Amino acid sequence: MIADLHPRHRKLLFSGRRWRVRLVFWGGAIMVGLVSVAFAAAATQATRLFHLLLFNPLVALALTPLGFMLSVYLASRFFPGSQGSGIPQAIAARHMKDAGARSRLLSLKLTFGKILLTLFGMACGASIGREGPTVQVGAAILLQAGKIGRMMGERGLILAGAAAGVAAAFNTPLAGIVFAIEEMGRAFEQRNAGLVLIAVILAGVAALGMVGNYSYFGSNTSMLIVTIDWVGVVICGVAGGLAGAVFARCVLKGSSILRRHTGSLPRALMLAGSCGLIVAVCGLLSHGATYGTSYEAARRAVEGGHTAWSFAPLKFVATLASTLSGIPGGFFAPTLSIGAGLGDIIADLLHVHAPGAIVLLGMTAYFAGVVQAPITSAVIIGEMSNASAMRLPLLLAALIGYGVSRLFQRESLYHAMARDFLNRQKTVADHH
C-alpha cells in the first residue's frame, strides 16, 4: 500500500520535520485539554472556598469589593491584557499583523495570570466563568506549540486553540468546531479545517480521559408537545434576544464611558470596588444564588426545578457589574445561567407542559442575543444538556433571539470588544 504512494506523498509521510511538527501540535492540543480540566477543577474549589469564607453573608460586603480591587491591581501591574473574557483577545490576536503585539495577548505568562486571577475572582464571589478565559488559554498554548514546532499560519493555530478550549471546557466537541467557524473565524479558511478538527478531537480526548463523559447541564429529555410549549419558543426567542441585546449594549456603552473616566489606576480600583459591592449586594438579595457561575441554579432549572423570579434580573446585574469591573473572567457560563432564569420565568407564566425544555430555549435565545452566534448557541446548549429531541426548537429560538438582538445591537459583542483591543493597540503603536 505504502509502495503505491506517489513519491511526493511518500516523502511527506516519512518526513522527520513534518512528524516533529505534527507531534508538537498534537501535544499542544492534548495540553489544552489537560489544562482545561485542571482549570475546571480549580474553579470548583475556588467557588467552594468563597462559600466557606461566607460564615456570615455580610462578609461578602467587604470580601468581594476588596477582592475586585486587588484583582484589577494585579492584572494592571503584572498581567496587562488578562482583563475580561479572553475571547475578544483571541479574536483580536487573529487580526493582528504584529507578532509582538499578538504575543502580548497570547503569551504563556498571560495564560498563567489569566487562570490565576480568574480563580481569584471566583474565590471572591464574582459573577464570572472560566470558559471565556479557557479560549484565550487554548489559543495561547497552541500558538506557543506552533512556535516550538516552527509551524506557519498563526491565525489558524489561534483558531484551533480557541475551538479546543471551548470543546474541552464544556465537553462539547461539535460546539467547539461551530464556535471556531461562526464566532472566531467569521471568514473561515478551508485550510484551517484540519487544524481545528484535530485540536478539538485531541483536547476532547484528553479531557475525557481525565473526567470521563458527562453533560455539563445534566440530561434533559423534554420535548415540546402541546401548543403552549411551541408558543414558548417564540416568547423565549423575543425575550432572550431583547435581554441579550440590552446586556451587550450595556457592556459596550458602559465600557466606553468608564474608560474615559477611569484612566488612572486609583480610579480603576475605585470602579472595581464599587462593582464588587454591587455583586455582593446581588448575592445577599439572592441568598447567594448569583455568586460565581450560578451553575447549580441553572442545572436545577434545566432538570425541572425552579429558581426565584428575582434570580435572572439579579444575575444580570451581578454579571454586568463583574464584566465592567475590569477583573479577568468570562461571562459565558453566567450568561447561560441568566438565560436559564429567564426561561424558568417564562415557563411559570405559561404553565407549560415541559418547563425544562423552556429553560433550554431561554438559555439559547439569551446567549444568541448576547453574542449573536445563533448556531453556536443552539449546538452548545443541545450538547451540554444532551437534549437530542430539542434540536429544531433550539435552532428556532436561537434564530429569533439573534434576529431581535440585531435590531438593537448591530455588532457582535465579542467582535466589538476585540475591535476595542485592536484600536488600543494601534494607539499604542502610533505613540511609539
> What is the C-alpha separation between 47 and 16, in angstroms, rounded?
46
Q: What was the pLDDT predicted at 152?
A: 65
Domain residue ranges of the chain, discontinuous segments joined by +:
14-211, 227-422
DSSP 34: H
> What is the C-alpha separation between 374 and 372, in angstroms, rounded?
6
Q: Are 217 and 384 in contact (CB under 8 A)?
A: yes
Fold of 227-422: Clc chloride channel (1.10.3080)
Q: Which three cell numbers stand for residue 226?
A: 402541546
Of 346, 393, 395, the closest CA to residue 230 belongs to 393
Q: What was the pLDDT predicted at 2?
A: 45
Q: Which three cell numbers stand for residue 301?
A: 432549572
> What is the C-alpha separation between 431 and 419, in angstroms, rounded?
18
Q: Are 265 and 73 in contact (CB under 8 A)?
A: yes
Give Cβ neighbours of residue 208 (< 8 Å, ≥ 6 apart): 171
Q: pLDDT below 70 — which residues of the chain?
A: 1-19, 150-152, 183-198, 200-201, 204-205, 207-228, 425-432
Q: What was the pLDDT predicted at 223?
A: 56
Q: What was the pLDDT predicted at 269?
A: 94
Q: Are 106 and 93 in contact (CB under 8 A)?
A: yes
Looking at this protein, which amino acid is placed at residue 13?
L
Q: Mind listing the pLDDT tens digit for each residue in 239-269?
A: 999 999 999 999 999 988 888 877 788 899 9
Displacement of CA 409 from its chain's centroid (Å): 19
Q: What was the pLDDT predicted at 121?
A: 95
Q: Are 235 and 243 in contact (CB under 8 A)?
A: no
| CA angle, 418 then 420 then 424, to 5° | 120
Q: Hey, which residues does 247 pair with through a beta bridge? A: none
Q: What was the pLDDT predicted at 1?
A: 44
Domain 14-211: which CATH class? Answer: mainly alpha
Q: Mind listing the pLDDT tens digit for each residue in 111-137?
A: 899 999 999 999 999 999 988 899 899
Do 14-211 and 227-422 share a fold? yes
Question: What pTM was estimated for this model as a whole?
Answer: 0.86
DSSP 20: H
